[in-house]
Amino acid sequence: MLVDCRPPFAMSIGSPRLFSEGVTHLPDVKDPDVLTVFKDLMAASWDEIPDTVIHDAKKALSKKTDDKSGQEALANVFRAAEAAEEFGGMLVSLRMAIDDSVGLSGEDVKPLSEEFVNALRTAYQRYTAYLDSFGPDEVYLHKKVETELGTKMIHLKMRCAGIGSEWGKITVLGTSGLSGSYVEQRA
């Protein structure tokens, strides 16, 4: 069903802006157990995935069900969560090493060593390559990964002057937007 969302006074102005009801940007997961774990994983912080969510995900992935596409969607999210957790840890370690090098308040500011420059370049390349690897049907996963890792990338960017202009493309998406809030969708 399409709904006309224009205010009453604008009904005769221009073409109508229509929104579709019932459109979801998440995969269609039919198995309720798999869906619950999928939503729990999407709602959890991927800085350190809770052990209960990991346990539930492994259980749902090994479950016999007719919803193979739902299990595959859960497997994709689980792999992305584990990868983001590991990569995020590396980004935090890199930022801490930079902080140690220049001092927490910048009291020992100096040009970054070649080692740090190469590490930053590699981190950026891997980050963008990973985001580019998501297909058009995985927008929800792209958004979640960008939200989880984007903040850490921006923290690196804020600690370093003179890094490449490509770092300006890094954004941090909020938890609500076109796909809706993952926390809201969990309920």
Over residues 70-94, the pLDDT tens digits come to 999 999 999 999 999 999 999 999 9
- Residue 73 confidence (pLDDT): 93
pLDDT band with cut points at 50, 70 and 90 for residue 15 = low
Span 5-21, average pLDDT? 55
Other CB atoms within 10 Å distance of the CB of residue 50: 12
25 Cβ partners below 8 Å, 6+ apart?
139, 140, 178, 179, 180
pTM for the whole structure: 0.74
- Residue 4 confidence (pLDDT): 58
Q: Which residue has the higher pLDDT, 103 or 113?
A: 113
Poorest-pLDDT segment among 6-10, 34-38, 137-141, 164-168: 6-10
Measure Cα distances from 133 to 88, 130, 154, 186 in Å. 17, 5, 20, 25
